[in-house]
């Protein structure tokens, strides 16, 4: 195979199911563990997440976020698992939603998976991603008066932050 030719990656089982049922998404290459990854636009997140829940992904193991780099998108990641009885290796899926840093809004999945509660709050607190419809979206790690989003790659740390009653 020539260097310029990339190997063809076949869509995973869940991506095929979503396509067959008319759900807009983009199949991403599996991660280093072989877990299927799917990219979805924020406007299709709730219908697709609801369909995945109905398809058996009943456990949100982790919701997190990352910054793709200064001037690039922020990414909200959902690691979903099908939890069933008598299964040696549960099926897993990673769902990614890319949002522009100048409008980092997407709907909350709290109403589908309650475990998103504190995880979405942490992503909000560290990256400034606004999860619309979340029942209590407020800072969870930083103080309420903290300015900015400390894990964004373009974050400029304040020169001095005084700890009250440190001694």
Report how far Cα 80 is from the mean position of its chain's Cα atoms.
Answer: 10
In what helix (H) or strand (E) does residue 49 lie, and over which residues does it extend? helix 45-54
Strand partners, 83: none
Q: Please write the tens of the pLDDT for every residue from 86-135.
A: 878 889 999 999 999 999 999 999 999 999 999 999 999 999 999 999 99
Least confident range of 22-36, 68-82, 125-139: 22-36
Tell me what percent of the residues of the chain surpass a pLDDT of 70: 89
Determine the angle formed by the axes of helices 13-20 and 45-54, rounding to 10 degrees. 110
Predicted pLDDT of residue 86: 83
Q: pTM of the prediction?
A: 0.88
Question: With 80 as the cut, is the pLDDT of residue 9 above it?
Answer: no
Residue 85 burial (CB count, 10 A):
4
Question: Where residue 44 falls among pLDDT bands split at 50, 70, 90?
Answer: very high
Domains and CATH numbers, the chain: 13-149 (3.30.460.80)
Q: Please write the tens of the pLDDT for every residue from 138-156.
A: 999 999 988 899 999 988 8
Q: Please write the tens of the pLDDT for every residue from 55-70.
A: 999 999 999 999 999 8
């Amino acid at each position: 195979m020539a260097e310029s030719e990339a190997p063809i990656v076949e869509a995973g089982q869940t991506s095929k199911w979503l396509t067959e049922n008319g759900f807009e998404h983009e199949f991403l290459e599996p991660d280093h563990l072989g877990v299927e990854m799917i990219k979805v636009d924020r406007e299709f997140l709730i219908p697709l997440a609801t369909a995945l829940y109905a398809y058996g992904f009943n456990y949100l193991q982790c919701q997190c976020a990352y910054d793709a780099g200064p001037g690039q998108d922020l990414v909200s990641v959902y690691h979903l698992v099908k939890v069933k009885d008598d299964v040696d290796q549960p099926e897993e899926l990673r769902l990614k939603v890319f949002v522009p840093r100048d409008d980092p809004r997407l709907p909350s999945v709290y109403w589908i998976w309650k475990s998103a509660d504190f995880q979405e709050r942490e992503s909000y607190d560290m990256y400034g991603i606004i999860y619309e419809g979340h029942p209590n979206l407020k800072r969870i790690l930083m103080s309420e008066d903290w300015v900015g989003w400390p894990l964004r790659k373009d974050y400029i740390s304040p020169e001095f932050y005084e700890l009250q009653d440190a001694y």
